[in-house]
């Protein structure tokens, strides 16, 4: 049995994505140029994977403190999230790995865009 990980959300506006691009120095037009990104298989600008990961890590650290901050996190980027969507990070104790947590980031339609497992530090 583990602790509850309260979900946290962010509306990934174009302004927030641009600020994140400045922070991480990733100016790929796939994230910042809607006209360019519309011509790609994504059909529009997508949120940086690192922005989604940061939302999840912040959510986990707030819920579990040092044990979560210093734990082992294994993630998979499962689907893109479009700029303008609301992203929600969360997690729950894993049914498959005692002591671990299943963690995720979902977009507004409920699709998991990031999935993974957190094993807290001892």
What value does the mean pLDDT of the chain take? 96
Instruction: Identify which of 75, 87, 89 has the alpha carbon closest to the alpha carbon of residue 16.
Output: 87
Residue 20 falls inside a structural domain: no
Residue 38 falls inside a structural domain: no
d(CA 96, CA 59): 22
* Number of compact structural domains in the chain: 1
> Concatenated DSSP letters for 14-28?
HHHHHHHHHHHT---
In this structure, of 14-18, 51-55, 65-69, 79-83, the range with the lowest mean pLDDT score is: 65-69
Residue 111 falls inside a structural domain: yes
Question: What digits encode the pLDDT tens for the residues 24-60?
Answer: 999 999 999 999 999 999 999 999 999 999 999 999 9
């Amino acid at each position: 049995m583990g602790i509850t990980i309260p979900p946290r959300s962010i509306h990934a506006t174009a302004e927030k994505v641009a600020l994140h691009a400045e922070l991480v120095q990733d100016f790929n037009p796939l994230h910042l140029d809607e006209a360019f990104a519309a011509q790609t298989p994504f059909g529009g600008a997508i949120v940086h994977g690192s922005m989604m990961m940061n939302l999840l890590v912040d959510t986990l650290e707030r819920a579990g403190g040092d044990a979560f901050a210093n734990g082992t996190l294994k993630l998979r980027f499962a689907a893109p999230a479009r700029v303008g969507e609301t992203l929600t990070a969360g997690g729950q104790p894993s049914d498959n790995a005692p002591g671990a947590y299943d963690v995720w980031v979902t977009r507004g339609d409920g699709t998991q865009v990031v999935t993974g497992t957190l094993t807290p530090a001892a």
